Amino acid sequence: MITGLSASYRIDYAVIFAVAGLAIHYSLPRRRNPSLRDVPGPPSPSWTFGNMLQLLLPLHYGDYEFAWQKKFGPVYLIKGCFGEDRLMISDLQALQYIFNSPHFGRGPAPENAMNLLLDKNAVVAVKGETHKRFRAALNIGFTPSAVRNYQPIFERVAEKIAEQLDKCSETQALTDIFPIMSPATLSAISEAALGLSSRDLGETFVANNEHIIWLSSHQSSTQIVLAAIASRLPRIVREAAMHLPTATFKVLRTVKSLAHQIGRRVIAEKLAAAQQGVNIRTDVFGMLLDPEQSDLKKKNVLTEDELVAQTGILMIAGQDTVTNTLVFGCLELARHPEFQHQLRAEIHSSLRGPYSASAYESMPLLNAFIKETLRFYPPEAIQELVTVKDTVIPLTDGIKNAKGELMNHIPVQKGQVVLAAIASYQRLQSRWGEDAHQFRPSRWVDGTIVQGQAVGPYANLLSFLGGPRVCLGWRFAILEMQVFFSKLVGEFSFALSEEDCLRTRYGNMLVPITPSGEKAAPLYITRI
């Protein structure tokens, strides 16, 4: 959930006035890349906002973005705030190059958000050889065998969700499932990563964490322009802003501090338990702190301070992304009652007796449904990147420029902002079929999908990104969703109100909203 947070924190008007002078200077358009002059794209309706309101705040997410892709192809030029050129890319070969090339780094907005919320030694923040070492160390807790060990945790949490849904079904009223799913995914990641229940995290951490999630799901035109201004300010100014006495920055500071405290407490308790001969290899931190592991692979062992620095990113990345996917999945089941019935029949016939990870893997409809939900609602619909040196982006089939000439590659200069249009890539008809804009899980079992070159770690999707910075926890998330959906669909039915008036909004991730603009997913829930 890192990318969009900087567009979600609120800044007091006093802060706006304080940076006004700097903003005027840094908001001037940067020198245009001559090679982009002939790249087609939509006209900009505003110098202040460029195309960003159309991209980020349409009535339904994708209203403009998917239309632009249809008209201009998988590569086109849009305007950011203050006349900035931004390349929008959903081309397969281009995305492969971007995610695997060392010539691209995080864009200004996600970089700001990361500095605000996470420790400087979080795995997503470090670079180069340090990043490789951190990933090698952390991967111990996310291998296929390690993830299988977390299955009992997921099943216990799923039982708790079922207990809450039972109470909701008794009322026979519409129930917003967000307040049920969000604490459940927090509990799952807390137990699997740290060995702590969500209660052990403390009320203050949980409350502030929920506030950050709320902030990250809301976005306005004011926040978009403020984020653009903030991204152009000197780093020393941005870092100083973290210490301002505003309510939002206080929440960010509190979560960061409490994550450190929790991490240190967990490490101390596990090291003490290990000295007494207790098996601590039951969660991610335990595996990383295991004395035998430390002796076997010392070069990939994190120091205690480095491990503490991972606490925040594990908790944040492991909660909100899975929550939103679960919620969208339940909404689509409610919209497709016939498929919901078919999936329930598969679950009932497949899961008898003790469950194993292989049992979940052997259900074609369940896994097709998860893949389709991730395709249709990628957690990170757009990733903002920036070139760190001049480079040339290759294209799959090329595009026609404004002169009608074929461009097979696009030279870009250092400092160019590139938007990896993940949601658009996952709607490409050439990849997913003529009905790519429809939610249809059967495409994954009927041969509709064109396999082609592989991107991403799962089902040729970029929902978990790709390349050296692919999501470490993708296997964790898939098994968690397999367990949760199997339990929920197997025991409950989900239905919408007569008027399905929910829309999809882009905050930092895609979220469903009501006509009044509130993040919510009200459903009728019935015990089977």
Instruction: Tell me which range, 103-112, 312-321, 519-528, is most confidently predicted by mean pLDDT.
Output: 519-528
Is 385 in a helix, a strand, or coil? strand
By residue count, the chain amounts to 528
DSSP labels for 83-125? Answer: G-EEEEE--HHHHHHHHH-TTEEE-HHHHHHHHHHS-TTSTTT
* 516: phi then psi, degrees, rounded to nearest 5: -80, -5
Q: What is the pLDDT of residue 32?
A: 63
- Predicted confidence (pLDDT) per residue in 485-526, tens digit: 999 999 999 999 888 889 999 988 899 999 988 999 999 999
Spell out the alpha helix ranges (H) of 101-197. 108-117, 128-138, 144-148, 151-171, 178-194
Q: Both tokens of residue 65?
A: 């973005």
Distances (CA, A) of 223 to 84, 377, 455, 520: 17, 23, 32, 21
pLDDT (average), residues 244-258 = 85
Q: Does position 373 have pLDDT exceeding 70, yes or no?
A: yes
HSE of 421, CA atoms in CB hemisphere, 13 A: 28
User: Can you tell me the distance from the alpha carbon of 352 to that of 417, in angstroms, rounded to the nearest whole number?
Assistant: 51
Q: Both tokens of residue 85?
A: 């050129």
Choose among 77, 4, 55, 65: nearest CA to 437: 65
Which residues have C-beta within 8 Å of that of residue 194, sequence separation ≥ 6?
Answer: 262, 263, 266, 283, 284, 285, 311, 314
Low-confidence winner among 7-11, 235-239, 424-428, 511-515 (lowest mean pLDDT): 7-11
| Whether the Cβ atoms of residue 357 and residue 148 lie closer than 8 Å to each other | yes
- Predicted confidence (pLDDT) per residue in 400-439, tens digit: 887 888 889 999 999 999 999 999 999 999 999 999 999 9
Q: What is the pLDDT of residue 150?
A: 95
pLDDT (average), residues 214-241 = 82
Q: Is 81 annotated in some ligand binding site?
A: no
Number of Cβ within a 10 Å radius of residue 522: 17
User: Can you tell me the distance from the alpha carbon of 477 to that of 319, in angstroms, rounded to the nearest whole number?
Assistant: 10
Q: In which element (H, E) is residue 490 found?
A: helix 474-491
- Predicted confidence (pLDDT) per residue in 174-211, tens digit: 999 999 999 999 999 999 999 999 999 999 999 988 88
This prediction's pTM? 0.92
Low-confidence winner among 285-299, 468-482, 500-514 (lowest mean pLDDT): 285-299
pLDDT over 70 for what percent of the chain? 92
Q: Both tokens of residue 62?
A: 């994708």
